Every structure is written in structure tokens, then in C-alpha cells.
Amino acid sequence: MARCRDLKTLQALLAGKRAAQAAARPDGPAPAGPAPDSPRRLLGIDTALRTTGFGIVDCVGTQMTAVDCGVIQTAPGEPFSECLRRLAGGIRELVRRYAPDEAAIEGAFYCRNVHTTLMLGSARGAVIAVLADMEIPIYEYAPRRVKQSVCGFGNASKAQVALLVAQFLRIQVGNLRNDATDALALAICHAQTARVASGLGLPERL
């Protein structure tokens, strides 16, 4: 592959790739998103039924700053419907309080236990419905891709993810739950993906 020897050539190649991607869409060109170096607030969500992690990160170019993180939790023994109600309400409150520009969630996965898979899918659907209702663009990333983005390899442990999140954001994570650091990792992954090649590597919006 020939290398681009100047910025003008690179910009022309990127413009051509964007035009080709837009032409390939059945519904026409996608709406333009924010410039990769413009200030953005990202909401990462590690979805589960009873303990969902969230992480909010401000990013400008290569600089990322943690704003808040934690979990939305429902006590054991509460009915399934109450878990979904609290989860949806918690996400709605986060959006109202922090006004994120975009959200990143973990992609769907399957368990051997069909009942568990259905419950996780319902929790994920509740989160997506609230974000869509509040007009927050949603992007999903496979767990392995998040680990590759943050740690450099897809088989990283939760402890390794937490350690790299601490280094990226310059925060202490000793007292944070893995659900929260996983959510911060999702936000970091989305920020890095949006920055590479002017966001051409972004997944399709949900």
C-alpha cells in the first residue's frame, strides 16, 4: 500500500472514503457527528439486571477526564419488573443530570442459561429505550474490543481493565466496583474509536 506523503493527500483519501460509505447506505448519508477534537461528554454503560455500571467521561482530543461513575443497583429479592423500573429511572436521571452527548454500551452476548440471556436482553432493551427516547446517540462495542482498546489485548481481566482505566483517567479505582470501571472503559473505547481517522471506524448507531 502506498503511503501518503502529505496532509493534503491524506485528507483527499479520507474524503473519498466518507463519500463511498455515504453512497453505500440504503437510506442516504448519515448525519454528521461532532468533530473528533470537539468537547464531548460520553456515557459508558455496563448493563446488567441488578447491578449496572455507569461511567461519564469528558474528552477533548486526546485528553480524557472522569466526571462520575458508579452503579445502578436493585436489592436481591426485588421482582424483575422493579429491576427494570429502577434501571430505566437511573439512566434517565443520569442523562438529565450530566447531559451526555453520546452513549456506549456493551454488545449483546449469550449465556448457556436461556433465562439469564432473556433477563440481560430485557435490561439492555430498557437502557436503549431510555437513551433513544432522550435522543442520545448509542454505540455498542463487544467486550473483547473494549479490552483491546484499553489494555491492548482482548483477554484482559477485570482487574487489568481497572488498572488501565486508572492510568488513562488518572484516578484511583481501589474503591470502585468492576461494573463502574468496565463502564468507564466503554467510554474510553468510544472516545478512542471516534478519534481514529476522524471517526471512520465507528460502529453503526443503534
| Domains of the chain by residue range | 34-199
- What single DSSP character describes residue 67? E
Active site members: 46, 106, 179
Q: How far apart are CA 74 and CA 28, in angstroms?
A: 42
Task: Give 112-173 as a DSSP string.
Answer: SSHHHHHHHHHHHHHHHHHHHHTT--EEEE-HHHHHHHHHSSTT--HHHHHHHHHHHHT---
Q: Which residues of 124-142 are buried (b: 16+ CB within 10 A; e: fewer)?
A: bebbbebbeeeebbbbbbe
- What single DSSP character describes residue 203? P
Query: In the CATH scheme, what is the homologous superfamily, with its name and number, of domain 34-199?
Result: Ribonuclease H-like superfamily/Ribonuclease H (3.30.420.10)
pLDDT at residue number 13: 46
**Could you say which residues of the chain have pLDDT below 50?**
1-11, 13-14, 17-18, 21-22, 25-26, 28-33
pLDDT at residue number 158: 92
pLDDT at residue number 25: 47
pLDDT at residue number 148: 93
